[in-house]
């Protein structure tokens, strides 16, 4: 576990620190909305309105950028007081389900129109997801914490404000995490929708 964390830190420094040595860099700061999908909805089905992301990319060709992203989403759902069956018996209680997801990803983006009013792109992110899953039954709390591998295909758009180095940024990504933790199961999937600002630097 320590070796994995050390690798992730080195990877993050290489990605974000490396953006300064190339010709043009793009930095984005975004507000994020998370929408649970698939098996995740059996645990939490409500949309998360608490999230943010920071992304740094640099052009390696006239249309291709490489970089990385740090994201955070908090999912939450409260279930009514009821009797719930467990492996070792039953409990009558209100149930609180929470999940905090922090992806640390490297990504590649293909920019269809690097210049112009609308600058759409498609991309793929991959890396480590730190996930804290918290379930509370009355006074009992189960809170496993895990690092898992995942993928995040994405589509996005930059909309520059005139001739300035500032732009509106919008993005939609599907996060597929190879999870294998009960009660979600082997795959954890959610959609994240981002809206924020992009900064172009040289």
Q: Find the CATH number of the domain harbouring 38.
A: 2.40.160.20
The residues with which 166 forms a beta bridge, in sequence order, are 199
Residue by residue, pLDDT tens for the chain (202 residues) are 565 556 555 555 555 554 444 468 999 999 999 999 999 999 999 999 999 999 999 999 989 999 999 999 999 999 888 776 666 666 777 888 999 999 999 999 999 998 888 999 999 999 999 999 998 887 788 889 999 999 999 999 999 998 889 999 999 999 999 998 887 888 899 999 999 999 998 7
Which of 62, 61, 181, 79 lies closest to 132, judged by CA?
181
Residue 50 belongs to domain spanning: 2-201
Largest Cα–Cα separation, the chain:
65
pTM over 0.85: no
CB 71 within 8 A of CB 192: yes
* Number of domains forming the structure of the chain: 1
The Cα-based distances of 113 to 23, 121, 137, 165, 190 in angstroms read: 17, 8, 52, 16, 28
């Amino acid at each position: 576990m320590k070796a994995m964390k050390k690798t992730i830190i080195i990877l993050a420094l290489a990605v974000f620190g490396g953006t300064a040595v190339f010709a043009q860099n793009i930095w984005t700061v975004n507000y994020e909305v998370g929408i649970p999908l698939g098996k995740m909805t059996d645990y939490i089905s409500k949309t998360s309105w608490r999230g943010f992301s920071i992304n740094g990319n640099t052009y390696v060709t006239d249309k291709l950028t490489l970089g990385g992203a740090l994201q955070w989403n908090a999912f939450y759902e409260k279930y009514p007081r009821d009797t719930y069956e467990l492996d070792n018996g039953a409990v009558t209680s209100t149930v609180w389900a929470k999940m905090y997801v922090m992806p640390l990803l490297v990504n590649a983006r293909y920019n269809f129109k690097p210049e112009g009013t609308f600058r759409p792109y498609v991309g793929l992110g991959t890396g480590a997801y730190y996930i804290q899953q918290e379930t509370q039954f009355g006074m009992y709390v189960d809170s496993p914490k895990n690092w898992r591998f995942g993928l995040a295909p994405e589509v996005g758009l930059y909309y520059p404000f005139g001739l300035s180095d500032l732009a509106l940024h919008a993005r939609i990504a599907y996060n597929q995490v190879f999870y294998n933790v009960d009660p979600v199961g082997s795959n954890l999937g959610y959609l994240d929708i981002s809206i924020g600002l992009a900064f172009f630097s040289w």
